[in-house]
């Protein structure tokens, strides 16, 4: 779990106040409120003044750099994506001042009658993201990166959270799974991807969607962002709607010549297996957020994420062992662990 001494907190608060005074020195009344819920080392604050509200991103320099965010904000904006405006930043202190997009996410509109229209609009963003120019701030989503993500599930969810060690047979199967999913993801056309294109990273402000949390954009498999959006760890779409939107994602990517002639059946396989890898990683991250970062609020998302894995793995004879293992051993252990935390 990440920890900070009182001195660390006081020093960070001093730097934050210093940056705010530089931007709003002539304003008497400023209200600063912490915004919770971000699954990263970044912290956010809402700054309210008499005339307007703003968002402050706080990234301690020892934890990371704001340069990726600022640069990629420009890349995404120039590529036709609607993103929050960067109003000021200090890369040495680690602060970015942004326009305030309010509090409404796509996740808050799931029950609205316009839900499908919202999703279709977001799917039209896929080619725009994929065709963004590759930036030096974008890592390559290569085999080492994919394997590292797979290990998050084994290390954080199985070993550290559940206390479960793979026996020799399962370790061999896990190795084969890692290799085959890596091959599947690398076999696809490689494009720019947001990497976390889901319901909590799309804000709705002044009647239109705005994309956030794009600082971890990478170059990787073409269907990854469609998987992130339609097989969301926080929202499960009705089956008929999901199938319709999955076809729409294929049509969007194909019509913009991003699939290199891939037939829909092959796209569905890529989609399913990319989702399998993504959801293994995500389930591991939810456990890591609890253990390392002291954020237990993400634990309830583990079971829905494991359900996605069971569903995808069960559709392929090669991965049926994974579905069976999760259902018979791992999911009951997760249920017991969650019950202990209530």
Instruction: State which of 77, 99, 121 marks the end of a domain.
Output: 99
Claim to verify: residue 230 and residue 334 sit in the same structural domain: yes
Residue 267, classified by CB atoms within 10 Å of its CB into exposed (0-12), middle (13-18) or buried (19+), is: buried
Long-range Cβ pairs for the range 18-22 (8 Å, 24+):
18/93, 19/56, 19/90, 19/93, 19/95, 19/97, 20/47, 20/56, 22/90
Claim to verify: residue 207 and residue 293 sit in the same structural domain: yes
Claim to verify: residue 81 and residue 127 sit in the same structural domain: no
Angle between helices 302-314 and 264-291 (to 10 degrees): 150
Query: How high is the pLDDT of residue 1?
Result: 40
Strand partners, 54: 47, 99
Query: How high is the pLDDT of residue 28?
Result: 66
DSSP code of residue 147: H
Query: How high is the pLDDT of residue 342?
Result: 67
CATH classification at residue 69: 3.30.200.20
Claim to verify: residue 40 and residue 113 sit in the same structural domain: no
Claim to verify: residue 94 and residue 218 sit in the same structural domain: no
Claim to verify: residue 14 and residue 84 sit in the same structural domain: yes
CA 214-50-93 angle, 5° bins:
45
Domain range enclosing 322: 106-341
Claim to verify: residue 116 and residue 220 sit in the same structural domain: yes
Segments in the chain below pLDDT 50:
1-4, 6-7
CA gap 250, 8 in Å, rounded: 49
Please state the domain count of the chain.
Answer: 2
Can you tell me whether residue 311 is helix, strand or coil?
A: helix
How high is the mean pLDDT of the chain?
Answer: 92
CATH classification at residue 167: 3.90.1200.10
Q: Is residue 173 part of a domain?
A: yes
Task: List pLDDT tens digits, range 282-328.
Answer: 999 999 999 998 999 999 999 999 999 999 999 999 999 999 999 99
Sign of CA dihedral 221, 234, 212, 119: positive
Claim to verify: residue 116 and residue 205 sit in the same structural domain: yes
Kindly write down the DSSP assignment for every residue of 183-205, as one continuous string: HHHHHSPEEEE-S--STTSEEEE
Instruction: State which of 59, 82, 99 marks the end of a domain.
Output: 99
Instruction: State which of 71, 99, 127 marks the end of a domain.
Output: 99
Claim to verify: residue 184 and residue 121 sit in the same structural domain: yes
CA gap 88, 85 in Å, rounded: 9
Q: Smallest Cα–Cα separation from 233: which of 277, 161, 282, 276?
A: 282
Q: Is residue 59 part of a domain?
A: yes
Claim to verify: residue 80 and residue 162 sit in the same structural domain: no
Q: Is residue 1 part of a domain?
A: no
Q: Is residue 189 part of a domain?
A: yes
Claim to verify: residue 164 and residue 281 sit in the same structural domain: yes
Q: Is residue 46 part of a domain?
A: yes
CA gap 125, 79 in Å, rounded: 10
Q: Is residue 90 part of a domain?
A: yes
Query: How high is the pLDDT of residue 317?
Result: 97
Q: Is residue 75 part of a domain?
A: yes
Query: How high is the pLDDT of residue 12?
Result: 87
Claim to verify: residue 192 and residue 300 sit in the same structural domain: yes
CA gap 184, 177 in Å, rounded: 11
């Amino acid at each position: 779990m990440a920890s900070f001494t009182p001195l660390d907190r006081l020093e960070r608060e001093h730097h934050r106040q210093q940056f705010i005074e530089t931007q709003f020195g002539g304003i008497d009344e400023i209200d600063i409120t912490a915004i919770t819920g971000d699954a990263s080392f970044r912290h956010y604050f809402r700054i309210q003044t008499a005339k307007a509200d703003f968002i402050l991103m706080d990234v301690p320099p020892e934890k990371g750099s704001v340069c990726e965010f600022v640069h990629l904000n420009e890349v995404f904006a120039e590529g036709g994506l609607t993103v929050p405006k960067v109003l000021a930043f200090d890369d040495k202190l680690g602060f970015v001042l942004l326009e305030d997009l309010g509090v409404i996410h796509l996740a808050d509109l799931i029950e609205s009658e316009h839900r499908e229209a919202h999703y279709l609009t977001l799917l039209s963003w896929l080619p725009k993201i994929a065709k963004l120019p590759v930036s030096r701030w974008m890592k390559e989503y290569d085999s080492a990166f994919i394997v590292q993500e797979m290990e998050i599930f084994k290390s954080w969810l199985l070993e550290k959270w559940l206390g479960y060690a793979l026996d020799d047979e399962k370790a061999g199967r896990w190795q084969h799974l890692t290799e085959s999913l890596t091959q599947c993801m690398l076999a696809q056309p490689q494009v720019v991807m947001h990497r976390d294109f889901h319901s909590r990273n799309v804000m709705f402000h002044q009647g239109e969607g705005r994309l956030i949390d794009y600082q971890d954009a990478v170059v990787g498999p073409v269907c990854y962002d469609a998987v992130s959006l339609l097989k969301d760890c926080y929202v499960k779409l009705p089956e008929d709607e999901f199938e319709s939107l999955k076809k729409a994602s294929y049509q969007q990517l194909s019509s913009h010549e991003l699939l290199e002639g891939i037939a829909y059946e092959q796209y569905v396989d890529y989609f399913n297996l990319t989702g399998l890898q993504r959801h293994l990683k995500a389930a591991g991250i939810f456990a890591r957020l609890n253990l390392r970062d002291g954020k237990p609020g993400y634990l309830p998302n583990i079971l829905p994420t494991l359900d996605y894995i069971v569903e995808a793995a069960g559709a392929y004879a090669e991965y049926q062992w994974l579905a069976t293992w999760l259902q018979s051993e791992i999911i009951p252990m997760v249920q017991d662990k969650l019950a202990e935390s209530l």
